[in-house]
Structure 1
Amino acid sequence: MKFEWISANITEILCDTLVILVSHDHTCLNELHFEKHQQVTGQIADILRDQPAQSGFGTTTTIYTLGQLRAKQILLIGCGDEKLSLDKWRALFAIAARQAKKLQSKSLCFVLPEDKEAICSKLIEAAVEGSLLGTYSFDDYHTKEKMSGNLETCLFTGLEKVDAFNEIVTRSKIVASSVNFSRDLVNQPACAMTPSILAQQAQDLASTYGCLKSTILDRKQMEELKMNALLAVAKGSNEPPKLIVLEYNGHSSSKEKIAFVGKGITFDSGGISLKPSKGMEEMKDDMAGGAAVLGAMRAIAQLKPKLNILAVVPCTENMPSGHACRPGDVISSMNGKTIEVVNTDAEGRLILADAVTYAKEQGATHLIDLATLTGACVVALGTVASGVFTNQADWCQKLLDAAEKSGEKLWKLPLFPEYKELIKSSIADMKNSGGRDAGAITAACFIAEFAEQTPWIHIDIAGTVESNKDCGYQVKGATGTGVRTLVQLAEELAYENG
């Protein structure tokens, strides 16, 4: 999609859909200047008078201009009666772009509100990201062509063009396309996104962007490193496990290395502790943490922030078989700590344990892991926010600040010492599940045992990984959650480095 700035009276703008924002008091947020088109002016006024609900957030009304304007149709979109955050603006632009796409539009023009001159650059960022995220669709397996069209051009008008317009558009397109890349990975069925295929995706990123170095560890190499926790999960599957490693070195003189660790279970049956059949098809998304890390690295490789990042994605399926790990087995992790496996469906923390240890041995000074880890986090926070856990408050605050700027919602949960008691084992150093009580917290406590003293953050994205409907800039299916926060954090840290 192309994004352009145009300076013209909106009555003269040639496009398929002209997007006009409607405020809470039922007036347009722009001086329309339809002096020669009183019929159009009157129609808009009648709609705003007779349909007060039109101003509700995200409500859309289409007006066909019937040749009176150069635009084929006007799309009125309500802004609601609350002060809009940047994320709300992003959602509004997404709704407008998605509706324009349904109207078979190839071009649309956003008329930016005249009272928002001070945040014009932020509105452009929101519009670009919203348009690309909100019109995303996963059509790899549809045999019939969809009726909706493809937006090709997005115009902006209504304010003075900002000097950094091209830079804002470029950055926003990189971020949004990387989120959509992550969405694509998660939306693929497990038969088409095995550990080997996900590893190939990482290698393709390294080939495309020369600033990334890829290393893929196979089973034999993991055995040599004694990654027995990861390998225990992989035992039940015929698909070979992979450990994906991507390195980005943007600050050669810095000793700091940030590790992004993403859970890469490409299908989770639960293993011997088999999940219920209902909803099991959704377990293809259990590699969304890994997909978020790869999406973030795709953006970082193009934005080139001045810092060093190590991406580690442990990949395997979790399947039941005669070779599978059993409840009651005791395994030894890469760092030597022993684990009693009381539930084979608590497998994500096992592969993350070895991946975190590996990242530390590769020189990581700060850690962030992302995982669709627990249903307990969904119970606690629903589908609105991801859960956050940390052993270092200052490090966590940097992430929370980055998330707020990116528009992704995170909520910090505690790791009080008392919770650690729930994962104590009578026959090993720890067990891999503390039971139902505080399940998201005890899972984080388990990973913390391997982060040890290294500043570490765990993000449980189990509730935010998918959307069950089109809503704002989210569309039904994978959300790509985590990508925008990681990219924003990388840029913030690079800014701190000067």
Structure 2
Amino acid sequence: MDFSIKTYDAKTGVASIKTGCLVVGVFENKKLSQAARELDGKGAISAALRSGDITGKPGSTLLLRGLDSVAAERVLLVGLGADDPVSDKTFISAVQAAGRVFSSLGTNEALLALPLEAVKNRDAAWAARAAILALRDGAYRYDTTKSKKDEAPVGVKKVALAASSAATAAAKAAVAQAVAIANGVALTKDLGNLPSNICTPTHLANVAKKLAKDFKFGVEVLDRKQLEALKMGSFLSVTKGSEEPPKFIILKHMGGKAKDAPIVLVGKGITFDTGGISIKPGANMDEMKYDMCGAASVLGTFHAIGEMGLKLNVIGVIPTCENMPSGRASKPGDIVVSMSGQTIEILNTDAEGRLILCDALTYVERFKPAAVVDVATLTGACVTALGHHNSGLFTRSDDAHDALANELLAAGKAAGDTAWRMPIEDAYQEQLKSNFADMANIGGPPGGSITAACFLERFTRKYTWAHLDIAGTAWKSGAAKGATGRPVPLLTTFLINQANGKKSG
């Protein structure tokens, strides 16, 4: 799907614009949006509302053809709810509804004339970004591993967004950003949806190398011998039971000034998680192919910032391996030495994500980062706490960390990819005590997502850091099973804000 901005003349409006389908909004109280009023010269739209052919409820639609004095072949009415200003949720619902109609129309072009500048507490640039992300999300299909590919999409392939002359410049910039983010989200979805026999650590490394070639990133991939030389005993303990070789991927997008400290993104890349010796139940274990969605989101974010040529220094670090049971696998009660020198008693081999992340978090000290954000499908406890709506955000509580947390939360809210801040307090650290090592890798069921974050926090005290637990938001189960691409919109929006001067650290 291609996207553009169409500037309309405020005097003539949208009625004179030729297109295969013109989308305008109507309200539940039989009120018309400005664009709909411009098309209602002989009252056809008002009549449709009065008759109940369309209610105006969010997401309701009605397709009209051959309206007098309207250049468009078709006019699609879309419900915008009770009244303006339109909420962001209602606006996105209207765009999604239009997208569903687009897929079956006999035209390849449409003009979206929904009120970009009338969304509550948002501007036209936000609305343009949100519309594109919603349309691309609805159009996403996965058929990579099917013998019979999905039929080529029909219907609308080119979408223009109508904007006033005052909003055109900002909307055009937003379109470029949104397309880049959508492409990053699509890559993240594709990687997450691939089965683990294809999406191995080596595959992730090859994807990183391709991104580096396409966007001129720096790239380095460390293998087992190099990890042994770095004394990453915690990371290596997880990969012991697998035949697949581990990889440690470093991507560098140095788009800022040479002296500027980088933002570092760290993504958990467990390409399949059986739980190891502490093996998981069989039901739904297939979904553990999604345990690399943190890594996939870092790769997707790099695709987005590379495409938009973001003027910021960003480094991505991805520790990736499988967690498998075998005669060589780590056992409950084993003690390993992390890269930091701290010792860890492995009480549960299914708490493996923190074991690979802790060595990565130690490794990134060498970059002297402005801030570090790690992203991981880390705990089922986070799903219990927050469900599937918000990712869990964890940081220490001081001025620098509060600022980082607020920037991430604001980016998530702006991108429609929300997070919720959870506590990290010393009281929770008590649960990680071990009689035999510096710490245990689990703290028991109470506050499981918090104690997991507390574990990671012990390896991040030399820089400003935040942790995103995306176990509840990275994929969907059931009939809609599939990767969501989150938190690529949050991360990319955060980085855009940093490049625009809202610096962390």
Q: 1:66 to 1:491 in 2, by over 3 A?
A: closer
Q: Secondary structure at the match of 1:309?
A: strand
Tell me how far 1:313 sits from its aligned partner.
0.6
Match of 1:229 in 2: 234
Q: Is 22-31 or 182-191 further displaced after alignment?
A: 22-31
Measured in 2, the distance between the counterparts of 1:434 and 1:105 equals 58
State which of 110, 118, 137 in structure 2 corresponds to 1:133.
137
Tell me how far 1:279 sits from its aligned partner.
0.8
Tell me how far 1:361 sits from its aligned partner.
2.7
Matched, 1:405 2:410: no
Measured in 2, the distance between the counterparts of 1:425 and 1:84 equals 54
Match of 1:314 in 2: 319
Matched, 1:170 2:171: no
Q: Secondary structure at the match of 2:169?
A: coil
Measured in 2, the distance between the counterparts of 1:237 and 1:24 equals 58
Tell me how far 1:236 sits from its aligned partner.
1.1
Tell me how far 1:390 sits from its aligned partner.
0.3
Measured in 2, the distance between the counterparts of 1:25 and 1:311 equals 50
Measured in 2, the distance between the counterparts of 1:335 and 1:300 equals 31
Superposed CA offset, 1:46-78 (max 9, x none): 442343873222223334559996645433221
Matched, 1:298 2:303: yes
Measured in 1, the distance between the counterparts of 2:317 and 2:472 equals 22
Match of 2:189 in 1: 183
Matched, 1:457 2:461: no
Q: Secondary structure at the match of 2:181?
A: helix
Measured in 2, the distance between the counterparts of 1:217 and 1:115 equals 49
Q: 1:342 to 1:75 in 2, by over 3 A?
A: same
CA contact (8 A) 1:310 1:364 kept: no
Superposed CA offset, 1:367-392 (max 9, x none): 11000000100000000101110022
Measured in 2, the distance between the counterparts of 1:100 and 1:413 equals 40
Q: 1:255 to 1:119 in 2, by over 3 A?
A: closer
Letter in 1 for 2:295: G
Q: Is 287-296 or 135-144 further displaced after alignment?
A: 135-144
Letter in 2 for 1:291: A
State which of 477, 483, 492 in structure 1 corresponds to 2:488.
483
Matched, 1:395 2:404: yes
Letter in 2 for 1:430: M
Match of 1:49 in 2: 50
Measured in 2, the distance between the counterparts of 1:285 and 1:265 equals 8
Tell me how far 1:439 sits from its aligned partner.
0.4
Q: 1:119 to 1:399 in 2, by over 3 A?
A: closer
Tell me how far 1:105 sits from its aligned partner.
4.5
Measured in 1, the distance between the counterparts of 2:281 and 2:433 equals 27
Measured in 1, the distance between the counterparts of 2:134 and 2:116 equals 20
CA contact (8 A) 1:18 1:109 kept: yes
Tell me how far 1:496 sits from its aligned partner.
1.9
Match of 2:202 in 1: 196
Q: Is 427-436 or 128-137 further displaced after alignment?
A: 128-137
CA contact (8 A) 2:219 2:251 kept: yes
Match of 1:336 in 2: 341
Q: Secondary structure at the match of 1:248?
A: strand
Q: 1:449 to 1:150 in 2, by over 3 A?
A: farther
Match of 2:161 in 1: 156
Tell me how far 1:280 sits from its aligned partner.
0.9
Q: Is 332-341 or 148-157 further displaced after alignment?
A: 148-157
State which of 208, 216, 222 in structure 2 corresponds to 1:217.
222
Tell me how far 1:328 sits from its aligned partner.
1.2
Measured in 1, the distance between the counterparts of 2:136 and 2:453 equals 34
Letter in 2 for 1:22: V
Superposed CA offset, 1:163-213 (max 9, x none): 344333222211111111111111111122110001100000000011x10
CA contact (8 A) 1:261 1:293 kept: yes
CA contact (8 A) 1:369 1:458 kept: yes
Measured in 2, the distance between the counterparts of 1:189 and 1:225 equals 30
Q: 1:321 to 1:63 in 2, by over 3 A?
A: farther
Measured in 2, the distance between the counterparts of 1:303 and 1:16 equals 30
Matched, 1:106 2:115: no
Letter in 1 for 2:213: S
Q: 1:354 to 1:158 in 2, by over 3 A?
A: closer
CA contact (8 A) 1:217 1:242 kept: yes
Q: Secondary structure at the match of 2:123?
A: helix
Measured in 1, the distance between the counterparts of 2:57 and 2:263 equals 43
Measured in 2, the distance between the counterparts of 1:409 and 1:376 equals 18
Q: 1:277 to 1:70 in 2, by over 3 A?
A: farther
Q: 1:11 to 1:78 in 2, by over 3 A?
A: same
Superposed CA offset, 1:203-259 (max 9, x none): 00000011x100001111101111111111111111111011001222344342221
Measured in 2, the distance between the counterparts of 1:413 and 1:201 equals 33
Percent identical: 37
Match of 1:241 in 2: 246
Q: Secondary structure at the match of 2:189?
A: helix
Measured in 1, the distance between the counterparts of 2:470 and 2:328 equals 30
Q: Mapping of 1:69-80 within 5 angstroms? A: 71-80=72-81
Tell me how far 1:108 sits from its aligned partner.
1.7
Measured in 1, the distance between the counterparts of 2:468 and 2:375 equals 5
- What RMSD in Å do the two structures reach over aligned CA positions? 2.7
Q: Mapping of 1:341-360 within 5 angstroms? A: 341-360=346-365
Measured in 2, the distance between the counterparts of 1:448 and 1:269 equals 25
Q: 1:71 to 1:372 in 2, by over 3 A?
A: same
Match of 2:82 in 1: 81
Matched, 1:22 2:26: yes
CA contact (8 A) 2:60 2:78 kept: yes
Q: 1:157 to 1:401 in 2, by over 3 A?
A: closer
Q: Secondary structure at the match of 2:58?
A: coil
Superposed CA offset, 1:280-324 (max 9, x none): 111111111111111111122233333322110110111111111
Gaps of 5+ in 2: none
Gaps of 5+ in 1: none
Matched, 1:326 2:331: yes
